[in-house]
Copies of this chain bind each other. A is one copy, B any other.
Amino acid sequence: MKITCEKNSLLKSINIVVKAVSTKTTMPILECILIDASTDEIKFTANDMELGIETKVEGTVQENGIIALEARLFSEIIRKLPDSEVTISSDSNFNTLITCEKAKFNIMGRDGEDFSCLPYVERDSCVSISQFTLKELIRQTIFSIAQNESNKMMTGELFEIDQDQLRVISLDGHRISIRKIQLKESYGEKKIIVPGKTLIEISKILSGETEDIVDIYFTENHIVFEFDQTVVVSRLIEGNYFRVDQMLSNDYNTKVTINKKELLDCIDRAMLMVKEGDRKPIILNIEDNTMELKIISQIGTMDEIIDIEMKGDNIKIAFNPKFLMDALRVIDEEKVNIYYMNPKAPCFIKDEGDSYIYLILPVNFIDVG
């Protein structure tokens, strides 16, 4: 195999596929990037058997062939080359020569035939949204997936299509995040659970531009994202997702409208009083158009009063401060509405049209006045 590409095209393509390179594996081939120049096109592929990414690379094929190169080393070598034309060639023993100007690297590749190609996925109906929108949907929900694998379903997000509406939902047992968007067309009904890792990695390679489109295909077991020169294929998580709608409610006894940044900064400060691993709640005392926030710990106490607009009853309620911060951080509005029922019931942070809903369970607290 022999190909010639500009350093920067190589680097761009490596940075895309490297997201699917396995980091914890005993199979060396999974730590590789496959260079496929078997036709007159150059393609890079990485595949950790759950997530696979393939991207086309600008360049010319001088001799057809394939080779698998250890991703970390390949990426480091390309990164440190001068900004110039790079030639990669390999022989039948997988000896690979990378040259650029006067620099010559000789490294051992692996047989490209041993590489697991991306699974073939039937592509019929496709949902098209902007890369910006997909990136935002992920950012605004991904923080509340479960971190540990004990409940596999909680490590993914539900993508639920109902005609021309797409809802993305994540939950971890303490909170639920829901983002809803309007699609341009109607697509029937579909529910799939996408692994959180897939969403985290894909959101790193999406452009974030509103005019760039990503096409999404679903099958029984896979989801495919197609955009720019890239195809991302991921397995889905099997099972029926939690029935979230029965946990939602529009009733409330107290509605608070508050400046988001003021609340966020205040909780951020208050968290200085909480040692890592400690579970001190932040106590909210909502009374007569003010919200007093207070944390008492071994380190000391912090309290602060924020002016708010409120409707309904006074209430005193406590939360894990991190959960409040996580939700507030991803909301773009300057003012947010928070709805409370009672100190034992979840609060809801949501906008008028329910385009986002963040449900957070309260925690018990000892009322020391």
- A-to-B contact residues, CB < 8 Å: 73, 76-77, 80-82, 102-108, 265-266, 268-269, 272-273, 299-306
Which 10 residue pairs are nearest across A and B when measured between Cβ atoms?
A107-B300, A106-B301, A103-B304, A80-B269, A106-B300, A105-B302, A102-B304, A102-B305, A76-B272, A104-B303
Q: Are A80 and B272 in contact (CB under 8 A)?
A: yes
A335 to B73, CA, bound (A): 30
Q: Which of B81, B104, B106, B265 contacts A82 (CB 8 A)?
A: B265
Closest B residue by C-beta to A266: B103
Q: Are A104 and B268 in contact (CB under 8 A)?
A: no
How many protomers of this protein does the assembly include? 2
Closest CB-CB distance, A110 to chain B, in whole Å? Answer: 13
Closest B residue by C-beta to A108: B300
Q: Are A77 and B304 in contact (CB under 8 A)?
A: no
A29 to B304, CA, bound (A): 29
- Chain B residues with CB under 8 Å of A103's CB are 266, 269, 302, 304
Q: Are B104 and A302 in contact (CB under 8 A)?
A: yes
- Chain B residues with CB under 8 Å of A77's CB are 269, 272
- Chain B residues with CB under 8 Å of A107's CB are 299-300
Q: Are A102 and B306 in contact (CB under 8 A)?
A: yes
Q: Which of B76, B265, B272, B304 contacts A73 (CB 8 A)?
A: B272
A80-B272, A104-B302, A106-B302 given; 11 more Cβ-contact pairs under 8 Å: A73-B272, A73-B299, A77-B272, A80-B265, A102-B305, A103-B302, A103-B304, A105-B273, A105-B300, A107-B299, A107-B300
- Chain B residues with CB under 8 Å of A300's CB are 105-108
Closest B residue by C-beta to A294: B104
A106 to B82, CA, bound (A): 56
Can you show 18 pairs from A to B with CB atoms below 8 A apart? Answer: A77-B269, A80-B269, A80-B272, A81-B269, A82-B265, A102-B305, A103-B266, A103-B269, A103-B302, A104-B302, A104-B304, A105-B269, A105-B272, A105-B301, A105-B302, A106-B300, A106-B302, A108-B300
